[in-house]
Amino acid sequence: MAALILEGFEAFLHEFRDVSDGARDRFASGDWEAVQAAAERRIQVYVTNREQVCRFIQEAWQEADWRAARSEFKGLIASHDYAPQAATFYNGVYRAIHPGHSTAGAPMFYDVDPVTETEPDESLTLRQQDTHLARAVENLLLETELSEFLSSPADDAGLIAKRLESEIPLLRSHPISLLETLKPVFYRNKGAYLIGRLVVEGHIFPLAIAFVRCSDGSIRTHAVLWGENKLSIVFSFTRSYFMLRSGNPSRIVGYLQSLLPAKHRWELYTSIGFYKHGKTEFVRGYQAQLKCSDDSFHIAEGIKGQVMTVFTLDSYQTVFKVIKDRFPATKSVSRQDVLAAYRLVKSHDRVGRMADTQEFINFELPRDRFEPDLLEELQKVASGTVAVNGDMVHFAHLYTERLMVPLNIYVRQCSDFQLQQVLTDYGYAIKDLAAANIFPGDMLLKNFGVTRHGRVVFYDYDEICYLTEVNFRDIPKEESGSHAAEAWFDVGEYDVFPQEFATFLFPDDRLRGMFSQHHADLFTCEGWQRIQKMIEDQILSDVFPYSARDRLAEIL
């Protein structure tokens, strides 16, 4: 049985790497449709292989000694490069075969994934110690897996060096000590990134060099980003997962965490596509947090949702979302619709505007850490999902998501300058989602959050649909002789009237005026139909995790 589970994991890993290994060629050829298809396929390979293993086990062993199997499996993966991920696969198989069983004392793997040394060996990195920055950058570019596709490495190196020297004063008076990047290039959508660090006089500057494919088919460097904050945005929880052609995930994550210490290990595993192992790390992280904290789970701030009950543990910056048993009549969605919407977001391009979620089945939290009003609320509205079992609260199903400040609360607390910025970004968030063929449905401010970087992100998915399914209409003029209380025109299921958005989204005249300065087109059919036409013409928008001022040149 242990050998069978390992065989299933190896099959998953083979497919996972097969999809990932094609990232360079898809990027170099500009096959963006294949890029999106590959991202969706890779999401599914874990579940497909796990389900196959579960079927084989249930057919072959009516009763199994899982403790013996775990011991045997531990020996089989002792020297495996992907041992932590293999253990996660084993746990997934066990839990799928034993739905509803408590994990406490279960014959599973609980050991913490060992933290990799932050100084990786030469097999993982490219290193340049030439003290001349431009020359060091050029030599680095010529060593990358994209080198054969770069049209102007010397010119690009000069632009990168000039930008870094203009922004990092230390470089003007001291030579570099080390320029280092991970060997694997990080591919995502229409971008590719070298990730590493620049060392000057003992000071470490996290670094990312971004590449794009130009309209003439050449590949050029598009931006250079330095500093933890900018690199953190590249690895944001609002972005799709990276594709890497090779590299041991535990060592990659160990290196990334040395650059981004504020990121949890689970976030970094998830960002490189090992989202199931990211869940394993998440569970270990919150369990450790419970041991070293005493704050309680409480109902999240903001307006209560009609579909979800949302609660949080402030010290872990995470929200937990539970689908309610019943929805009000004003909601035309079912539980299955909600589940499908969250699955869509998982595999779709999130363009930096939709929060990633982790889905858990049979999840448990300690009862004594719940505030009474939260426990009462859960038992009242989600009794079909939530049950108190002794000293634990058992959730048959829930989602976790990164904690953000609800936009409707943020606009009441921020300065006038921040208000103008966040309302402008709110409009761009809607447009970015639309460009990715996502219509949010309910676009009220309460359904968006603000990250620690001040970026507006959508997080309420129960009414989303593809933008191309929506029929944007002008409100017909009222027929003479009709009565105000009577509808004078028919409304289809997917009919939407943008003229209503202005007052629906912004009862406050001041906020509406500030928003309209940049996004009045969202109150017209023409604005939305223009985006629909781009999607129908298969024009994939460029939504990169950096601003125009970070770009080296407009080379697209």
- pLDDT, tens only, 243-273: 998 778 999 999 999 999 999 999 999 999 9
Residue 132 has pLDDT above 70, yes or no: yes
| pLDDT per residue as tens digits for the range 172-201 | 889 889 999 999 999 999 999 999 999 999
pLDDT of residue 493: 79
Of 239-253, 284-298, 483-497, the range with the lowest mean pLDDT is 483-497
Which of 480 and 509 is assigned the larger pLDDT? 509
Of 211-220, 340-349, 425-434, 477-486, the range with the lowest mean pLDDT is 477-486
In the structure, how many helices (H) and strands (E) does the chain have?
Answer: 19, 19
What 3-state DSSP class applies to 364? strand
- Point out the catalytic residue in the list 113, 349, 356, 460: 356
Residue 298 has pLDDT above 90, yes or no: yes
Would residue 28 be called left, alpha or beta, if left means φ above 0 and alpha means ψ between -120 and 50 degrees? alpha
Which of 485 and 321 is assigned the larger pLDDT? 321
pLDDT of residue 480: 61
| pLDDT per residue as tens digits for the range 372-422 | 999 999 999 999 999 998 899 999 999 999 999 999 999 999 999 999 999
Architecture of domain 406-523: Orthogonal Bundle (1.10)
Q: Report the alpha-carbon distance of residue 489 to residue 471 in Å, rounded.
A: 15
CA 120, 123, 124, 130 dihedral sign is: positive
For 308, counting Cβ atoms within 10 Å of its Cβ (0-12 exposed, 13-18 middle, 19+ buried), the class is buried
Residue 304 has pLDDT above 90, yes or no: no
Which residues are bridge partners to 354 per DSSP?
458
Q: Report the alpha-carbon distance of residue 308 to residue 321 in Å, rounded.
A: 6
Active site residue 356: yes
Work out the mean pLDDT of the chain and round it to a whole number: 90
Mean pLDDT of 13-20: 96
Q: Report the alpha-carbon distance of residue 114 to residue 76 in Å, rounded.
A: 18
Cβ within 8 Å of residue 25, ≥6 positions away: none
Indicate the pLDDT class of residue 119, thresholds 50, 70 and 90. Answer: low
pTM of the shown model: 0.90
How far from chain centre, in Å, is Cα 413?
Answer: 27
What 3-state DSSP class applies to 137? helix
pLDDT of residue 172: 87
Amino acid identity of residue 379, one-letter, is: Q
Indicate the pLDDT class of residue 2, thresholds 50, 70 and 90. Answer: very high
Indicate the pLDDT class of residue 293, thresholds 50, 70 and 90. Answer: very high
With vertex at residue 453, the alpha carbon angle to CA 452 and CA 455, rounded to the nearest 5 degrees, is 105
Tokens linked to 98: 């034993």
Indicate the pLDDT class of residue 482, thresholds 50, 70 and 90. Answer: low
pLDDT of residue 117: 47
Task: Determine what percent of the chain falls in helix, strand and coil, rounding each to the nearest 5.
Answer: 45, 20, 35
Angle, helices 525-536 vs 416-435, to 10°: value is: 40
List of E strands, 201-346: 203-213, 219-226, 298-299, 308-313, 318-323
